Structure 1
Amino acid sequence: MNQAILHRLTRLDQLFSQFDDICDGAALDIKRSHCEYSAAAFSQHLHDLQNSDRLLTVGIIGRVKAGKSSLINGLLFEGEEVLPKAATPMTAALTTLSYSDSFTAEVCFFNRDDIEQMHSDSQRYQQKLIRLTEDEIARLAERRDVHPDQLDESTLERCKSSARRQLDEREPGLRAMNELSLRVRASGMDINTLPSIQDITAGSRAELNQKLLDYVGADGRMMPFTSSLNIGLPVAALQDLRIVDTPGLNDAMASREQRTYNMLKECNVVFIVSPAGQFLSEQDLELSSRLSSSHGIQEIYLVASQIDTQLHSRSERERWGGDFSSVLGGLKQTLSNAAFGTLKNQDNESLKHLAQNIQPRLFVTSGMAKTLQHQPESSWDDNCRHALQMLHRNYPDDFSQAAMQRSLSMLAGYDALDGAIAGVRQQKEAIITQQVESFCQSQRKSLDRAVSQLAEHFTEGKKRIEQTDLAQVVKRQETLNEVRTRGAAAANVLFQDQIERLDLMLTEQLSGLIASFRKDIQQSVNEAQGQTTRSRTVDKSGFGARFLRAINFGGTETITRTVTTLKASEVRTALEDMRSFIDSGIATIARKLMHQWRDAMNTALIAKLRETVGDSNVDGDQLATVTRWALATIRDLPSPALSELPAVLAYSGTREGNKAEEHLAAAHDFVVQLQQEAHLYAKQIQREVRQIAEIDLGDLIFAGLQQELTKLNDMVLNKRLTLDKMEMIAKAFKELAQ
Structure 2
Amino acid sequence: MIEEQSLSLLKISKGYELYRSSVDEKLLAELQVLASNFKNDALQTQNENRLLRIGIIGQIKRGKSSFLNSLLFNGQDVLPKAATPMTAALTKICYAQQPKALVEFYSKNEWNKVKNLADKAFTKQASYENALLEYQANKAISQKQGVFISSPAKPVISDEEKASIELLNMVKSSGLNVAQYLDTTISLDEVNNNDELVDKLNNYVGASGEFTPIVKSTELHLNIESLRDIEVVDTPGMNDPIISRGRRTQEFIGQCDVVFVLSNSGQFLDQSDMSLLAQNIPNKGIEDIVLIGSLFDGALLDEYHKYPSIQEALPAITTKLNNQAKSNVDKVCNEFSAHHSTEDDNNQSHLMSTLQNALPPIFISSRCYDLAIKPEQSLNEEELHTLNLLNGMFDDFTFNANTFSAVANFTRVTTKLDTVKVKKEQILADRFNNLLIGSKREVKQKLTQIADDVTYKRKNLLEGDVESLAKKQQAVVKRIEAGTVKVNIVFEKYSIQAEKTLTRLLTDINQDAIQVKQVHSQSGSREESYTTSREVSDSSWYNPFSWGSTRTVTSTHYRTVNYTYASVHDAVSKLESFVIETSKALYDVSENAIQLSLFKQDIKASIREMFDFGDDDFDPEMVLMPLNNAVERITIPAVSLDLDAHINTIRQQFTVEQVEGDEIEQLRKEQARVVALLLNDISDELKRCIRLILEKLVIEKNNFVPSLTKDLVTKVEQLKQDLIHKENVLKGYNDVLQNVSTDLTEL
TM-score normalised by the chain length of structure 2 = 0.65
Instruction: Give the superposition deviation at 1:266.
Output: 2.0
Residue of structure 2 equivalent to 1:216 = 205
CA contact (8 A) 1:94 1:228 kept: yes
Label 1:337 to 1:138 Cα distance change in 2 as closer, same or farther (>3 A).
farther
Does the residue aligned with 2:66 lie in a helix, a strand or coil?
Answer: helix
- Which one of the candidate residues 693, 711, 714 is aligned to 1:681? 693
| Structure 2 residue aligned with 1:592 | 601
Tell me the distance in 1 between the aligned counterparts of 2:680 and 2:177: 49
Tell me the residue number matched to 1:583. 592
- After superposition, the C-alpha distances for 1:281-327 in whole angstroms (9 at most, x for unaligned) are 555445444442321222222323333345456x73662x51x4443
Counterpart Cα distance in 1 of 2:393 and 2:499: 42
Measured after TM superposition, the shift of residue 63 of structure 1 is 3.9
Letter in 2 for 1:384: E
What amino acid does structure 2 have at the position aligned with 1:414? Answer: F
- Paired position in structure 2 for 1:641: 638
Contact 2:10 2:32 in 1 (8 A): no
**What SS does the aligned partner of 2:635 have?**
coil
Equivalent positions of 1:142-291 (< 5 A) are 172-184=159-171, 187=175, 189=177, 191=179, 194-203=182-191, 204-248=193-237, 250-276=239-265, 279-280=268-269, 283-291=272-280
Partner residue of 1:510? 494
Question: Are the counterparts in 1 of residues 238 and 246 from structure 2 also a CA contact under 8 Å?
Answer: no
Matched position secondary structure for 2:183? coil
Alpha-carbon distance in structure 1 between the residues aligned to 2:162 and 2:449: 44
Deviation per CA, 1:480-536: give whole Å up to 9, x if none.
Answer: 9xx99x99x9799969947965873444433554587699999999xx9xxxxxxxx
Match of 1:16 in 2: 16
Q: CA deviation at 1:731?
A: 8.0
User: Does the aligned pair in 1 maintain the 2:262–2:293 contact within 8 Å?
Assistant: yes
What does 1:474-485 align with in structure 2 at a 5 Å threshold? none
Trace 1:465-614 onto structure 2 (pairs within 5 A): 497=481, 504-511=488-495, 513=497, 583=592, 585=594, 587-588=596-597, 590-592=599-601, 594-595=603-604
| Conservation of the 8 A alpha-carbon contact between 2:117 and 2:161 | yes
Distance (Å, rounded) in 1 between the aligned partners of 2:423 and 2:277: 24
SS at match of 1:425: helix
Q: Structure 1 residues 127, 490: CA separation in 2 closer, same or farther (over 3 Å shift)?
A: farther
CA distance in 2, matches of 1:454, 1:249: 28
Structure with greater contact order relative to length (CA < 8 Å, sep ≥ 6): 1
Alignment deviations for residues 87-114 of structure 1 (CA, whole Å, 9 cap, x no partner) = 3232111111112232222222222332
Q: CA separation of 1:495/1:234 partners in 2, compared to 1, >3 Å: closer, same or farther?
A: farther
Distance 2:89 2:500 in 1: 41
5+ long unaligned stretches in structure 1 = 149-162, 529-571, 611-619, 649-658
Structure 1 contact 591–636 (Cα < 8 Å) conserved: no
Per-residue CA shift, 1:342-397, capped at 9, x if unaligned? 122224647643663465542323x2333233334443223334444555565798
Between 636-645 and 1-10, report the one with greater CA deviation: 1-10
C-alpha contact (below 8 Å) 2:271/2:597 kept by paired residues: no
Distance 1:139 1:361, change over 3 A: farther
Shift of 1:677: 4.3
The answer as to 2:99 corresponding to 1:89 is: no
Tell me the amino acid that sits aligned with residue 493 of structure 2.
Q
Q: Take 1:723 and 1:691, find their aligned partners in 2: how far apart are those partners?
A: 32
Give the equivalent residue in structure 2 for 1:344.
330
Unaligned runs of 5+ in 2: 143-153, 337-347, 513-580, 647-670
Partner of 1:364: 364
CA contact (8 A) 1:503 1:686 kept: no
- What is the rounded CA distance, in whole Å, between the counterparts of 2:397 and 2:446 in structure 1? 61
Supply the distance in 2 between the matched residues of 1:11 and 1:336 (Cα, whole angstroms). 46
2:327 aligned with 1:327, yes or no?
Answer: no
Separation of aligned partners in 1, 2:715 and 2:328: 41
- Output the amino acid matched with 1:736: E
1:66, 1:274 within 8 Å by CA — same for their partners in 2?
A: yes
Preserved CA contact (<8 Å) 1:173 1:250: no
Aligned residue number for residue 614 of structure 1: none
| 2:373 match | 374
Q: Choose from 426, 430, 435 the match for 2:426.
A: 430
Alpha-carbon distance change, 382 to 355 in structure 1, aligned in 2, over 3 angstroms: same
Are residues 308 and 197 of structure 1, via their aligned partners in 2, closer, same or farther at CA, if it must alter by over 3 Å?
Answer: same
Which one-letter code corresponds to 2:67 in the other structure?
L
CA-based RMSD: 6.0
Correspondence for 1:550: none
Report the counterpart of residue 99 of structure 1 in structure 2.
Answer: 95
Q: Say if 1:107 and 1:229, in contact at 8 Å, map to a contact too.
A: yes
2:557 corresponds to: none
Question: Hey, what's the Cα distance between the residues in 2 that align with 1:444 and 1:413?
Answer: 39
Q: 1:309 to 1:690 in 2, by over 3 A?
A: closer
